[in-house]
Structure 1
């Protein structure tokens, strides 16, 4: 027979557990930005500048960094030090191997932890990405041109190529000129091949937009190829304000998986303001 003292003890324990769970539910998950990593020391500095811009837009939000490879902290290590829920936002632009395999693999490798971890969509395609690409291209001196090569890292994954093609279409709509995707590795065409294809269409003032978050091997390769052709080439996107807003938009979009926590601001870009095909 349960005594009154035992019953009160059980009620107190259950109430404490319930309040703790409710407290966790009210807290906003940590935003974990997942960068690729690079041996170029400028890459880490650029990514950290982007995250500083994200924090400035959303004061009080916990923002952490993890890398797929080459730089510390690695994603697995970041996850192992976290408590509570987390939303992982890939600082990548399509559904390639890193997004579909490596990042979920790092979550599994981190093992059991106090809280759930979910992976948001990559940064492309999205109108905010097209806005950042267009401004970086203008800053490189491309104005009044008639064709653009959109350089991306490249992947053998068909979905990644589809995402890059969709970003190229958004950029073309924004600029009002043809935009052809090109790749620094793993896929075709190259920057030079895409530039020749635009020239064959009659384009004479061609610029190269760079779908890279930060400096690194592929960004340097793309810049060298563009300059060899005498084409203006944009800098990596880095802490562009539109890219910082896009990181938060991807984070906000994934919050529904946890239930929107109390006090979380409205989405940076409401889905109702986006084209139907990009509401994700």
Structure 2
């Protein structure tokens, strides 16, 4: 207690750092891109319908400086080849004309093969990014989808005094066996968030959703939930619903146009150049 008349010394004021943010909340793209920045091409498995259009709209809203093109792979890649050729004709030949981001969360051989074929046939200078995942942002989005469906706790701060509605989670992928293997890291990230066993499965490969369910039940997890680790165009919704019903599991919605998906599109585009400092050095 201060018994005198002097005021206690004031604590120093902490000033905000002038450095740009770091970590996963850092802005993935600079506010001003060079005028010759490559186009961002979103390659969509199947038809470029509502979900893909919503993802593109979010990217454009947050990054109006990007020349974004939305292209469907529904025809096997012919439209993508034509798009690359047109973009290359509009841009200087010294640097890459476009960066193509496949709109998939993990390995998807059919999609990636179609993209590579389109690049080769167009003979344009195009860089291909990896899939959007794995990444903590996508694991967080899966958690959100589970909580929206009432299949997981929404509050991570009360993990030890709130009963979980399920005791095992299946992360269901599309893209065959390779996609299921690629979802291992995401399953680990989601398990850490939920403190529950989480295993990956393929809607169109092995391990199947039924295989994953049997694996969970062998360790005592009988109340199961499935969360589709897909954006939407990669697979048919009926296949997702049927897979969950066949094992008696609750099912969350696909990632869809979650903000994390749009952000990861920008992360993949931006990471291709590591800062956008000199496009002339990036020609292939």
Q: Tell me the TM-score range normalised by the shorter chain.
A: 0.7 to 0.9
Alignment RMSD: 2.5
The corresponding residue for 2:230 is 212
Structure 1 contact 66–76 (Cα < 8 Å) conserved: no
The corresponding residue for 1:175 is 194
Correspondence 1:145-156 to 2 at 5 A: 145-156=166-177
1:73 Cα deviation from its structure 2 partner: 7.9
The corresponding residue for 2:7 is none
Q: Which has the higher helix share?
A: 1
Q: Deviations over 1:199-256 (max 9, x none)?
A: 2211132110101111564442121121243322121211101111111111110123
The corresponding residue for 1:198 is 216
TM-score (structure 2 length as normaliser): 0.72
The corresponding residue for 1:221 is 239
Per the alignment, do residues 172 and 251 of structure 1 end up closer, same or farther by CA in structure 2, a change over 3 Å counting? same
TM-score (structure 1 length as normaliser): 0.73
The corresponding residue for 2:274 is 256
Per the alignment, do residues 97 and 72 of structure 1 end up closer, same or farther by CA in structure 2, a change over 3 Å counting? closer
Q: 2:109 aligns with which of 97, 109, 113?
A: 97
Alignment coverage as a number of residue pairs: 228
1:93 Cα deviation from its structure 2 partner: 2.1
Structure 1 contact 93–163 (Cα < 8 Å) conserved: no
Q: Distance in 1 between matches of 2:244 and 2:46?
A: 23
Q: 1:238 aligns with which of 241, 246, 256?
A: 256
Q: Distance in 2 between matches of 1:163 and 1:237?
A: 17
Q: Distance in 1 between matches of 2:35 and 2:64?
A: 17
Q: 1:164 aligns with which of 171, 183, 189?
A: 183
Gaps of 5+ in 1: 1-23, 262-280
Q: Describe the SS at the equivalent of 1:256.
A: coil
The corresponding residue for 2:59 is 54
